[in-house]
A = this chain, B = another copy of it.
């Protein structure tokens, strides 16, 4: 029986953040609210940090209107390779990018980017073709409309990509809360205000009970 369940493994996964540049985000992303999208991208980045996954950053024309990477990303990963692509739209067409991916030695690629239909879809399909398992972080990826996002996600799903989101990615990498209860809880609380509130209520209730 074939194993139908492609399961993320923290020892075999790398994260590719493609073109989360200030100009592209402000000019083009309209399928997520601005607060929601920023939180999603940072949540994915912090997930990568928490699990100490290799991260590769790449930009398209950063010295132009597309703008620099979100500063939080460069601050968070000072040692990550940043592939400034001189022109290639599909990051996979850039040899340095592919080399950086290969250098990680990982076979599972978590990809997010701006915009979904280009900067995510193209390298996703290329990487699948090259033999990688690709997990798209759909909520860390944005584009011009819900309709365009839906079409791109359908295309990737039919092309063999696994559609996930930062929280399910974090959960699959974690596998078991006991691997680090406090750390994982802090990760979630920091990025999910709803969960943060639940923790606040829990702590409050505990305090009340033991007064």
Contact = CB atoms under 8 A, between A and B. Distances in A.
Contacts of A163: 151-152, 154-155
Contacts of A118: 167-168, 171-172
A89 B159 CA distance: 28
Contacts of A193: 34-35, 37-38
B194 A205 contact: no
A13 B157 CA distance: 24
B153 A23 contact: no
A160 interface: yes
* Interface secondary structure of A, over-half rule: helix
Interface in A22-71: 22-28, 30-39, 60-68, 70-71
Nearest to A151: B163
A63 to B, nearest CB: 5
A1 interface: yes
Contacts of A30: 30, 33-34, 194
Give the number of times this chain occurs in the complex, counting copies. 8
Interface stretch (A76-84, A99-107, A122-130): A122-130
Contacts of A204: 22, 62-63, 67-68
Contacts of A128: 4-5
A150 to B, nearest CB: 8
A210 B7 CA distance: 39
B67 A200 contact: yes
Nearest to A124: B5
14 contacts: A3-B129, A26-B27, A26-B201, A28-B194, A62-B204, A64-B202, A67-B204, A68-B200, A87-B177, A122-B168, A138-B147, A147-B149, A148-B168, A205-B205
Contact of A60 (B122, B177, B196): B177
